[in-house]
Amino acid sequence: MPVLTYRDALNQALREEMARDPSVFLMGEEVGVYQGAYKVSRGLLEEFGPMRVVDTPITELGFAGVGVGAAMAGLRPVIEFMTWNFALLAIDQLVNSAAKMLYMSGGQVPIPMVFRGPGGAALMLGAQHSQSFEAWYAHVPGLKVVTPATPADAKGLLKSAIRDNNPVVFIEGEMLYNQKGEVPEGEHVIPLGVADIKREGTDVTIVAHAKMVAVALKAAEELAKDGISAEVVDPRTLRPLDVPAILASVRKTNRCVVVEEGWPFAGIGAEVVDGIQREAFDDLDAPVLRVTGADVPMPYNRQLEKLAKPDAAKVVAAARKVLYKG
């Protein structure tokens, strides 16, 4: 199987879907001539021309709205945000237009589009550019939220997102773009709403998505040295959330730690914990613990930033706690 970077896996998905369906087009800042701020759209302008790879001014609300209009008219837009931090300017189009249209039109006007770009913190970009917004969008009925953690998932999920008839918020990772992994060629489609067991284990379940999957896997390695077998569950899609897969794992291990890069209050972890306590109450041997980003704006200082992010040591400590091993 070919080994690709996460960015090239996304590029492959875009190319394949644009070739497959002429109604798919890409629009955003620097996606054409510059080939994408993170080079995800490399070669696409050359291959598909300026009608289907459209450079925009720095007007997030504007081009997001143009995308929603195009979707209403029957096209399948892929809107790239340079990062999800900038998409705050466009959130009205996502929440009030894209997410509501099918409902408010009585089912007559579907919005088959994808909003994509990198989310989460990179390194020393400061408080305004180091944010994880997946919980915000997952909160909204009418939106699907996808957070791929590996190159193979990035390709398979983006293809599904483009084919989906609902607006999909597709959050990539700036620190993931260079990550390499095996990616199946051709028709590799991963259905939305299906979790993946990234590592099997018996003693404790670690639920993690996006960049935190790697953190969870590293923690699982550490725990294995102490004879603790951790299972890492990656929901991959946050909405719809594959609660049955999480429950099946927790029923096996009786203990769970939920990891996310974003803030704790009303975060994704809160939703996961709610599902577990309702559906797997009698299987729990310990309260479910969460490892999250610190409940503060991201510090710019390198050391403080490191302390504010979840890392393997914090996950290991939480796992040991739910195992009553100090």
Could you give the residue numbers annotated as active site? 60, 129
3-class state of residue 184 by DSSP: coil
Strand runs (DSSP E) across 50-94, as ranges? 53-55, 76-80
317 sits near other proteins (criterion: CB under 8 A): no
3-class state of residue 112 by DSSP: coil
Of 75, 125, 127, 284, the one binding other proteins (CB under 8 A) is 284
Q: How many CB atoms lie within 10 A of CB 80?
A: 26
Token pair in block for residue 156: 């398979």
Location of structure tokens 């597709």: 170
* Beta-carbon contacts of residue 130 (< 8 Å; ≥ 6 apart): 85, 120, 121, 122, 298, 305
92 sits near other proteins (criterion: CB under 8 A): no
* Beta-carbon contacts of residue 46 (< 8 Å; ≥ 6 apart): none
User: Cβ closer to other proteins: 89 or 284?
Assistant: 284
In whole angstroms, how close is the CB of 317 to other proteins at the nearest point?
15
187 sits near other proteins (criterion: CB under 8 A): no
286 sits near other proteins (criterion: CB under 8 A): yes
d(CA 7, CA 39): 7
Q: Which helix (H) or strand (E) holds 220?
A: helix 212-225
3-class state of residue 18 by DSSP: helix
227 sits near other proteins (criterion: CB under 8 A): no
User: Cβ closer to other proteins: 55 or 283?
Assistant: 283
| Burial class of residue 294, CB neighbours in 10 A (0-12, 13-18, 19+) | middle
Size of the site for other proteins (CB under 8 A): 8
Of 106, 187, 227, 281, the one binding other proteins (CB under 8 A) is 281
265 sits near other proteins (criterion: CB under 8 A): no
324 sits near other proteins (criterion: CB under 8 A): yes
In whole angstroms, how close is the CB of 246 to other proteins at the nearest point?
16
In whole angstroms, how close is the CB of 266 to other proteins at the nearest point?
24
User: Cβ closer to other proteins: 16 or 203?
Assistant: 203
285 sits near other proteins (criterion: CB under 8 A): yes
User: Cβ closer to other proteins: 59 or 277?
Assistant: 277
Location of structure tokens 């773009």: 177
List, in sequence order, the alpha helices (H) in 4-77. 6-20, 44-48, 60-72
282 sits near other proteins (criterion: CB under 8 A): yes
In whole angstroms, how close is the CB of 248 to other proteins at the nearest point?
15
Of 30, 279, 283, 311, the one binding other proteins (CB under 8 A) is 283
279 sits near other proteins (criterion: CB under 8 A): no
Q: Which residues bind other proteins (CB under 8 A)?
A: 254, 281-286, 324
